[in-house]
Amino acid sequence: MSGGTAPERGAARVLALRTTAPDNIVPQQSAFDEYYREMFRDVPQAAEIFQGSGVSTRHMAWDPRTAYADGFPLIKPRMQAWQEHFLAMSRRNVADVLDATGTREDSDRIGSFVLASCTGYSGPTPDILLAEEFGLRKDLRRTFIGHMGCNAAFNVLKTGIDAVAARPHELVLAGSAEVCSVHLRPEYTKEQAVVNALFGDAGAMLLLGADDGGPGPVILGTHTETHPDTSHAMSWHIEDTAFRMALSPYVPFYLAEAIGPFVKELLSSYGMEAGDIEHWGIHPGGPKIIDFVGEKLSLSPEQLAPSRAILAEYGNCSSSTILLILERILRDSRPQPGEHAVIMAFGPGLTMESALVRF
pLDDT digits (tens, 9 = 90+) for 114-142: 999 999 999 999 999 999 999 999 999 99
Q: What is the DSSP letter of 237?
A: E
- Average pLDDT, integer, range 83-106: 97
The active-site residue, picked from 118, 150, 180, 317, is 150
- Average pLDDT, integer, range 136-152: 96
Taking the C-alpha atoms of residue 79 and residue 5, their distance in angstroms, rounded to an integer, is 45
Given a contact cutoff of 8 angstroms between Cβ atoms, the answer to whether 182 and 82 are in contact is yes
Residue 30 has pLDDT above 50, yes or no: yes
Annotated catalytic, 150? Answer: yes
Position 7 scores a pLDDT of: 44
CA 162 to the chain's CA centroid: 20
Please name the amino acid found at residue 26. Answer: V
pLDDT digits (tens, 9 = 90+) for 201-249: 999 999 999 998 888 799 999 999 999 888 888 889 999 889 999 889 9
Position 8 scores a pLDDT of: 53
pLDDT digits (tens, 9 = 90+) for 239-295: 988 999 988 998 989 999 999 999 999 999 999 999 999 999 999 999 999 999 999
Name the average pLDDT for the chain. Answer: 94
215-358 has which fold? Peroxisomal Thiolase; Chain A, domain 1 (3.40.47)
Position 134 scores a pLDDT of: 97
**CATH 3.30.365.10 applies to domain 13-210:** no
Residue 56 has pLDDT above 90, yes or no: yes
Backbone angles phi, psi at 167, to 5 degrees: -135, 75
Model's pTM, two decimal places?
Answer: 0.95
Taking the C-alpha atoms of residue 294 and residue 280, their distance in angstroms, rounded to an integer, is 9
Q: At what angle do helices 321-328 and 152-166 cross, to 10 degrees?
A: 70
Position 33 scores a pLDDT of: 97
Segments of the chain assigned to CATH 3.40.47.10: 13-210, 215-358
